[in-house]
Amino acid sequence: MTQFLEVDNLTMRFGGLTAVDGLSFKVNHGEIHGLIGPNGAGKTTTFNMISGFYKPTEGQVRLRGEDISGLKMHEVARRGVVRTFQHSTLFGELSVLDNALVGTHMLFRPNIFAAIMGWDKEDRKGAEARALEALEFFGLLHLKDDLAGDLSHGHQRALGMAVAYASHPDVMLLDEPFTGMNPEETRQMMGLMRKLRDDGITILLVEHDMQAIMGLCDTITCMSFGKFLAEGGPEEIRHHPAVIEAYLGGARHVA
Amino acid sequence: MRNFLIFLAGAAALLALPHGLSFSQQEILVFLTINILLVSSYRLLTLTGEWSLGHVVIMGVGAYASALLSKKLGVYVPVSILLGGIISALLAVVLSFPLFRMKGFYFLIGSFAAGEIIRLLWKRFRDPFGGAKGIKGIDPMPDFSIGIYDFDFFEPVSYYYLSVVVVAACLWILWRIERSPVGLTFHAVHWQDKLAEASGVNLRAYRTLAFSIASGFAGISGGLLAHYIGTINPNSFDVEVMVFVLTWAIVGGTSTFYGPILGCIVLTVLNEIVLRELGFEQMRPLIYGAIMILSILFMPKGLESVVQKIFSRRAKP
Amino acid sequence: MLDLLAQTGLNAVYAASYISLIAVGLVLIFGVMGVINFAHGELYMAGAYSVVLFYSDFELPFMIAVAAGLLFVGCLGLLMERTLFRPLKDNPLGGLVASIGFLMIMQALASMGFGVRMEHIPPVTQHVIEFSERVRLPMARLFVIIAAVVLLSALWIFLKKTRFGWALRAAAQDPEAAALQGISINQTARIAMFIGAGLAGIAGALTAPLVSVNPHMGHSVIVTAFIVIIVGGVGSLEGAVIASVVYAIVHTFVTTFFDGVIADITGLSLMLLVLIVKPTGLFGSADRA
């Protein structure tokens, strides 16, 4: 059986610096998969290669057996792999609803002639329904007419995920989704992610917040200095000596 | 019903507008109408966040194409204007390959270089472009009658009516595009191109789309101009004209549909009518330059921001 | 043939001299202020009109007229810095629009003060150095070449050896870091504008007897300067000088062997090619803009 999402010998060099070095791991369908590692381990670089933001120097990313490495970001997205961004990257000048509508771009591809003639009423209705659905899922429906730039930090993070979710993705790549969230928001966000998984969406997330990742992930891959270090369930990783060594210099237990 | 009445009142106002104006003011009115289309098409490009310095040359491409098609191949003038727009749009698609490797400031300079090269090619090749003297004796729009009104296109009033109809139709299309999911995607490309791309938007395709639509309408405005003035040359489309378009857009503001139109009308009326009437003929560029500086210093968001302020104040009692 | 090559080469050296004076000023202003000064050609024009005023009208010695041009245009630069570029620091299109407005004002003032007709300036010297029958270099052109070499060397020493120069380069590279190091951004901006504008002014003043002085003379100069700074790499002074030489050679030779319009097209195509292949310019590194 071909693997759902497979990272194979992925390598990224910036000039003389090797940020990611021969990394391989597999993500199973329908799981929440965490990618962790100390600062500078190359997590974000890996993430950017999977989403098509960077073109890897070597190696492949395969989705259902198809090599998607080196594709442009929108081409990766059209294969069902949609990412979020680390900072609150949103269309700050547009309304919350419009943000979500951009997320429906792939489902209801705009057609300029239909738009001029007014033949796209069905599509526009469908897109709006889907956008509202995504906003409701993330509890943002009551804010739909606000400007995205005016939202609170937690709401902005949620909207970032709603934009990604609106496109009906197979895989969501989440870049540090819990950064800057208070414990209550983190707890809510974890609940939403489980709901996403139960909807059949595979999640790959890069995260610093160990508490969240331990309680949430089905499988965790740990990397250090650009290389694969360990993989396993949360319990396994928590007690893995190499992980403890890498993460905290062996000084104390993880989390 | 209310909208229909507003429409009727607007149409009547546009119909009545040229009467009571002097002949030269009627001519200015024709140019103003054409320039409104030019600056509105320019705004469509700025929706994706790119500012071009080649837009007026693209307008010239439409003008040259329409003039040559009607003169050399005998194409019926309204058709040649339309074809001129299509040729401009296609040229934009070709130009997008080198130009959209650049962004921001580099696109600005790159579009300027591309435009200047086109202009110099007109200058250099006397056949078919007529060299520095350009093309003279361009076929006028054929006269026709619609029963209640006889169109005589040597009369500015007739040409004004024709331009209003054409420009209104083009603006309607531009408006529809902006209010559609395509327009939303243009905004998305402008404000956060990475997020748009992550949502599956093909950035290059949308930048090219905006560029070619903007260029197509610029080409149509060029055709309208060429068949009115009857003679065009490379200097009709030089960077000084581009500077005017740029200032209309910036003084008016580009975040609303009406901003650039407002800028175009206000500055044209100010420059062509008020300053002329007041006898400032020689000082016009000086005052115009001063207005540009003052408006960018004290009204950086354009006239439209003033309009918005007035309306929002009225909304709140 | 050899004569023709030699003569064209001399013409190219002359062209490279005044182009590099203008382009280096433009680069300096862009580096420190982060704005493209569209009115730079009009600063050049102002330098030329200083010579018209002081040399042909007031009949002062030519060198005094040139010095007056340098001072006057330098002060125009200070005026632009204070009234336009400083208030518009955070508005990327604003500086561009304001400098275009300034350009129109300058052109209008020149037309009103001197008329739109070409100015006649009595030649400073009729002397011509003859290398051979057909290879000649007028003294007036030699002045321009010498002045460019001296001024650019002086600028180079100023930038590399003095504290001001160090501050200027630091501000050009990273304004925020420079500010943290206690460098006054406004002070360096003033110096950069004075020098940058002054160089354009002196180029205009020196070439005034050799070119047609009219209110619109800045236009062709600014296009050339743009090509040069793009090819050289925006923000690179050395690149601007090298690109000036390259451009002058290409343009002069194409003009001689084909014609002026083809030469202009070649220059613009060169710029477009650089923008497509390496937008940071042949000698520049990616930084501002």
Q: CB–CB of A94 and B191 under 8 A?
A: yes
A23 and B CB contact within 8 Å: no
Q: What's the number of domains chain B is made of?
A: 2
Check whether residue B87 and residue B158 sit in a common domain. yes
B176 and A CB contact within 8 Å: yes
Written as one letter, the residue type at C197 is A
How large is the ipTM? 0.87
In this prediction, residue C22 carries a pLDDT of: 94
Sequence-distant (6+) residues with CB within 8 A of A171 are: A5, A27, A63, A80, A81, A82, A201, A202, A203, A204
A77 and B CB contact within 8 Å: yes
Q: Which residues 10-69 in chain C show a CB within 8 A of chain B?
A: 36
What is the average pLDDT across C34-47?
91
Looking at chain B, the whole-number percentage of residues with pLDDT higher than 70 is 99
Please give the residue range of the domain that contains residue B274.
Answer: 238-317
pTM (2 d.p.)? 0.88
Ramachandran angles phi, psi of A23, nearest 5°: -85, 135
Check whether residue B229 and residue B279 sit in a common domain. no
Whether B42 shows a pLDDT value over 80: the answer reads yes
The answer to whether residue A173 is domain-embedded is no
Q: Are residues A182 and A154 in contact, defined by beta-carbon separation less than 8 angstroms?
A: yes
**Chains in contact with C, counting 3 or more C-beta pairs less than 8 Å apart as contact:** B
In this prediction, residue C70 carries a pLDDT of: 93
Q: Are residues B160 and B18 in contact, defined by beta-carbon separation less than 8 angstroms?
A: yes
Q: CB–CB of B101 and C88 under 8 A?
A: no
Looking at beta carbons, which residues of chain B come within 8 Å of C223? 116
The answer to whether residue B186 is domain-embedded is yes
Alpha-carbon distance of C143 to C21, in angstroms, equals 13
Minimal-distance CA residue of chain C relative to B107: C275
Alpha-carbon distance of B51 to B45, in angstroms, equals 7
Check whether residue B73 and residue B156 sit in a common domain. yes
What is the average pLDDT across B292-297?
88
Written as one letter, the residue type at C44 is Y
Check whether residue B262 and residue B153 sit in a common domain. no
Q: CB–CB of B101 and C279 under 8 A?
A: yes
Q: What's the number of domains chain A is made of?
A: 1
Check whether residue B80 and residue B160 sit in a common domain. yes
In this prediction, residue B264 carries a pLDDT of: 94
For residue A163, give both structure tokens: 């934009």
Whether B279 shows a pLDDT value over 80: the answer reads no
Matching residue, tokens 């120069």? C165
Where a domain ends, among B236, B254, B280?
Answer: B236
Question: Angle, to 10 degrees, between the axis of helix B181-191 and the axis of helix A121-137?
Answer: 50
Q: How many Å lie between the alpha carbon of C228 and the closest alpha carbon of chain B?
A: 12
Matching residue, tokens 């200070």? C78
C230 and B CB contact within 8 Å: yes
Whether C113 shows a pLDDT value over 70: the answer reads yes
Q: CB–CB of C272 and B113 under 8 A?
A: yes
CA R_g for chain A: 19
A174-A176-A179 Cα angle (round to 5): 135
B303-B306-B307 Cα angle (round to 5): 90
More confident residue, C16 or C277: C16
- Strongest mean pLDDT among A226-230, B88-92, B312-316: B88-92
What is the average pLDDT across C192-210?
92
Ramachandran angles phi, psi of B171, nearest 5°: -65, -40
Q: CB–CB of C265 and B285 under 8 A?
A: no
Check whether residue B168 and residue B115 sit in a common domain. yes
The answer to whether residue C265 is domain-embedded is no
Question: ω into residue A38 within 30 of 0, thus cis?
Answer: no
Q: CB–CB of A94 and B202 under 8 A?
A: no
Where a domain ends, among B202, B236, B270?
Answer: B236
Q: How many Å lie between the alpha carbon of A42 and the closest alpha carbon of chain B?
A: 20
**How far apart, in Å, do the first and last CA atoms of chain A sit?**
36
C53-C59-C60 Cα angle (round to 5): 90
The answer to whether residue B9 is domain-embedded is no
Ramachandran angles phi, psi of A247, nearest 5°: -75, -45
Q: CB–CB of B109 and C84 under 8 A?
A: no
Q: Are residues A103 and A133 in contact, defined by beta-carbon separation less than 8 angstroms?
A: no
Q: Which of B173, B182, B191 sits opposite A110 (nearest CB)?
A: B182
> Each residue of B251-262: pLDDT tens digit?
898 889 999 999
In this prediction, residue C196 carries a pLDDT of: 93
Sequence-distant (6+) residues with CB within 8 A of B224 are: B34, B37, B81, B163, B166, B167
Q: Which portions of chain A are predicted below pLDDT 50?
A: 250-255
Looking at beta carbons, which residues of chain B come within 8 Å of C276? 98, 101-102, 110
With bands split at pLDDT 50, 70 and 90, how would you rate the model's confidence at C45?
Answer: very high
Check whether residue B203 and residue B271 sit in a common domain. no
Q: How many Å lie between the alpha carbon of C38 and the closest alpha carbon of chain B?
A: 11
B19-27 long-range Cβ contacts below 8 angstroms, 24+ apart:
B19/B157, B23/B156, B25/B273, B26/B156, B26/B157, B26/B160, B27/B156
The answer to whether residue C160 is domain-embedded is yes
Please give the residue range of the domain that contains residue A155.
Answer: 91-168
A225 and B CB contact within 8 Å: no
The answer to whether residue B266 is domain-embedded is yes
For residue A204, give both structure tokens: 């790959």
In this prediction, residue C285 carries a pLDDT of: 52
**How far apart, in Å, do the first and last CA atoms of chain C sit?**
45
Least confident of A16-20, B63-67, C123-127, C282-286: C282-286
Q: What is the DSSP string of chain B?
A: -HHHHHHHHHHHHHHHTTTTS-HHHHHHHHHHHHHHHHHHHHHHHHHTT---S-HHHHHHHHHHHHHHHHHHS---HHHHHHHHHHHHHHHHHHHHHHHTT--HHHHHHHHHHHHHHHHHHHHH-HHHH-GGG-B-SPPPPPPEE-SS-EE-TTSHHHHHHHHHHHHHHHHHHHHHHHTSHHHHHHHHHHH-HHHHHHTT--HHHHHHHHHHHHHHHHHHHHHHHHHHHS-B-GGGGSHHHHHHHHHHHHHH-SSSSHHHHHHHHHHHIIIIIIHHHTT-GGGHHHHHHHHHHHHHHH-TT-HHHHHHHHHHHHH--
Q: How many Å lie between the alpha carbon of C136 and the closest alpha carbon of chain B?
A: 30
Q: Which residues 192-221 in chain B show a CB within 8 A of chain A?
A: 192, 194-203, 209, 213
Check whether residue B198 and residue B305 sit in a common domain. no
The answer to whether residue C22 is domain-embedded is yes
> Each residue of C115-153: pLDDT tens digit?
877 877 888 878 888 888 788 888 888 889 999 999 999
Q: CB–CB of B176 and A73 under 8 A?
A: no
Q: CB–CB of C265 and B243 under 8 A?
A: no
Check whether residue B161 and residue B277 sit in a common domain. no
Beta strand A66-67 with B144-145: parallel, antiparallel or unpaired?
unpaired
Check whether residue B146 and residue B160 sit in a common domain. yes
The answer to whether residue B1 is domain-embedded is no
Looking at beta carbons, which residues of chain B come within 8 Å of C261? 120, 123-124
The answer to whether residue A153 is domain-embedded is yes
C98 and B CB contact within 8 Å: yes
A149 and B CB contact within 8 Å: no
For residue A249, give both structure tokens: 């210099």
Q: How many Å lie between the alpha carbon of B168 and the closest alpha carbon of chain A?
A: 14
Q: What's the number of domains chain C is made of?
A: 1
Q: CB–CB of B184 and A72 under 8 A?
A: no
In this prediction, residue A249 carries a pLDDT of: 60
Q: How many Å lie between the alpha carbon of B104 and the closest alpha carbon of chain A?
A: 19
Q: CB–CB of B300 and C226 under 8 A?
A: no
Q: Which of C87, C102, C279 sits opposite B289 (nearest CB)?
A: C102
Looking at beta carbons, which residues of chain B come within 8 Å of C37? none
Where a domain ends, among B177, B212, B236?
Answer: B236
For residue C46, give both structure tokens: 């102002």
Strands, E, within C159-263: which ranges? none
Q: How many Å lie between the alpha carbon of B232 and the closest alpha carbon of chain C?
A: 19
Q: What number of other Cβ atoms are within 10 A of residue B169's Cβ?
A: 12
Check whether residue B175 and residue B307 sit in a common domain. no
What is the average pLDDT across B86-96?
96
Matching residue, tokens 């570029």? C85
C93 and B CB contact within 8 Å: yes
Q: Are residues B250 and B303 in contact, defined by beta-carbon separation less than 8 angstroms?
A: no
The answer to whether residue A233 is domain-embedded is no
Alpha-carbon distance of B48 to B202, in angstroms, equals 13
The answer to whether residue B5 is domain-embedded is no
Q: Which of B120, B239, B243 sits opposite C265 (nearest CB)?
A: B120
With bands split at pLDDT 50, 70 and 90, how would you rate the model's confidence at C289?
Answer: very low
Residues forming a β-bridge with C129: C137
Alpha-carbon distance of B220 to B79, in angstroms, equals 11
Q: CB–CB of C108 and B110 under 8 A?
A: no
Check whether residue B172 and residue B312 sit in a common domain. no
With bands split at pLDDT 50, 70 and 90, how would you rate the model's confidence at C43?
Answer: very high
- The DSSP code for C125 is -
Q: CB–CB of A103 and B191 under 8 A?
A: no
Q: CB–CB of C279 and B286 under 8 A?
A: no
Please give the residue range of the domain that contains residue C140.
Answer: 15-215
Q: How many Å lie between the alpha carbon of A237 and the closest alpha carbon of chain B?
A: 31
Q: How many Å lie between the alpha carbon of C124 and the closest alpha carbon of chain B?
A: 33
Looking at beta carbons, which residues of chain A come within 8 Å of B173? 116
Q: How many Å lie between the alpha carbon of A128 and the closest alpha carbon of chain B?
A: 11
Beta strand C128-130 with A202-206: parallel, antiparallel or unpaired?
unpaired
For residue C167, give both structure tokens: 């501050």
> Each residue of C147-159: pLDDT tens digit?
999 999 999 998 8
Q: Which of B106, B239, B293 sits opposite C275 (nearest CB)?
A: B106
Q: How many Å lie between the alpha carbon of B279 and the closest alpha carbon of chain A?
A: 44
Specify the DSSP element, H or E, that contains A23: strand A17-27
- B–C CB contacts, 8 A cutoff, strictly below: 110
A121 and B CB contact within 8 Å: no
The answer to whether residue C102 is domain-embedded is yes
In this prediction, residue B204 carries a pLDDT of: 92
In this prediction, residue A248 carries a pLDDT of: 64
Looking at beta carbons, which residues of chain A come within 8 Å of B192? 89-91
In this prediction, residue A244 carries a pLDDT of: 80
In this prediction, residue B202 carries a pLDDT of: 93
Residues forming a β-bridge with A18: A13
With bands split at pLDDT 50, 70 and 90, how would you rate the model's confidence at C287?
Answer: very low
Alpha-carbon distance of C24 to C35, in angstroms, equals 14
**Chains in contact with B, counting 3 or more C-beta pairs less than 8 Å apart as contact:** A, C
**Of B59, B107, B47, B113, nearest in space to B254 by CA:** B47
C266 and B CB contact within 8 Å: no
